[in-house]
Amino acid sequence: MSPSSITPGVVLKTRFVTSNKKAYQDYVDYVDRDNAKKEQGAHEKLFTLYQDYLSNPDKTSSLFTQQSDRLDEEEKKNVKKLFQQAQENRSLMWQDVITFHNPWLEEQGIYDSRSHTLDEKKVMDITRKAMNEMLKREKLNESAVWSAAIHYNTDNIHIHIATVELHPTRERGMRKQKSIDAMKSQVVNQMLDRGESQKKINDLIRKHMVGSKQKDSSFKWRNRELKPLFLQIYNHLPEDKRQWQYSYNTLKPLKPYINELSRKYIEKYHAKDYQTFIKKLDKEVDVLKKAYGEGKVDRHRYKHYKQNKIDDLYKRMGNAFLKEMKEYDRKEKELQKKLFSHPQQKTVKQTGSIHYAFRKMERAFKSEYESWKNQRHYERLQRKIEKNQEQEREY
């Protein structure tokens, strides 16, 4: 299948209308009609703005809301009153259409093309979670009410959703793109149910590869090939150990070396784990591509997914090595204090690093040595002068 032929599993289209639009009143009129989905022409009055999507009233489900899967007559009247109140208060009406690619729905086990049956209960619950996410992000969760219906009248099953505020809190109809993206992500994630697959990917990173490294010292005999690079990085780390974190800016020049250390460790001890890891990432990208399609707006949802997971592995592995370097540094300093301490002298003060102390001692030794050499040279020169003076007196 060529990339251009991939049909997205889920498409979300959104818009809004003001309270004086005919589409608003048509929906209010429709809500409490008895057997509306069977009434000739009534279907066209459900979201008049969706005329392109509607044709056959016999293929429309009953209305559902946040609280109810199927509105009875009393509930329909209550919803109508709420929408009338919102209209009188000049609320906007947000209209969303979630369209599914039927073969994709069938792959997820939600639709059966042979019997033409849909797991409506699951679709309704998914719609509720998606709406909750969007309303929360838009800060409409305390003021908005909505109703929806599942439609079967086209080649692709779709859901129409209408949302209003009883007491309007905003005049702006446009919602943030991030809110719309989050709403769509909720639909896709709930339908795909990739939690177990993604858990296995995370376990490969955290428990198998990085978890193994955290228990494996770089100074073990079997790791002798890693030791030189380990020490090279350690010797170039900043004095401030708080900066010994992979993401710290001051470590940016060292990252290629830290990554190389991680790569060598993974290649030597976790080659099979890494191959499994890459295969699972490729599968996840393929699943997300089928769900979202390859449109410019949705491509970002999976375009960097694989590389981001690889980067996460190297970040965690790098921090495991840096944590080991902290422990190595602590032990080295303890050892150096024991070696260079004297019973009658105080140990090097903690205000300076051990490296600074060594440099200071080295400079002191050099200074004393140079002073001693100068003194010896002065004494020899004095003796030579005195000898010359004695010889002059003899003549």
* 36-40, 163-167, 291-295: least confident range: 36-40
Long-range CB contacts (< 8 A, 24+ apart) of 132-138? 132/66, 133/182, 133/183, 133/185, 133/186, 134/175, 134/179, 134/180, 134/182, 134/183, 134/186, 135/163, 137/176, 137/178, 137/179, 137/182, 138/175, 138/176, 138/179
Give the pair of three-digit tokens for residue 372. 């001693």
**What is the DSSP secondary-structure string of 79-104?**
HHHHHHHHHHTT--EEEEEEEE-HHH
Res. 321 pLDDT band, cuts 50 70 90: very high
For 167-179, what is each residue's pLDDT tens digit? 999 988 899 999 9
Dihedral pair phi/psi, residue 11, rounded to 5°: -130, 135
User: Across the chain, what does the average pLDDT equal?
Assistant: 81
B/e letters for 28-43, b = 16+ CB within 10 Å, e = fewer, are bbbbbbeebbeeeebb
Q: What is the mean pLDDT of residues 265-283?
A: 95
For 119-138, what is each residue's pLDDT tens digit? 999 999 999 999 999 999 99
pLDDT of residue 374: 59
Q: How far, in Å, CA of 147 to CA of 149, rounded?
A: 7
For 31-52, what is each residue's pLDDT tens digit? 544 443 333 333 334 333 333 3
Which of the pair, 81 or 23, is modelled with greater confidence?
81
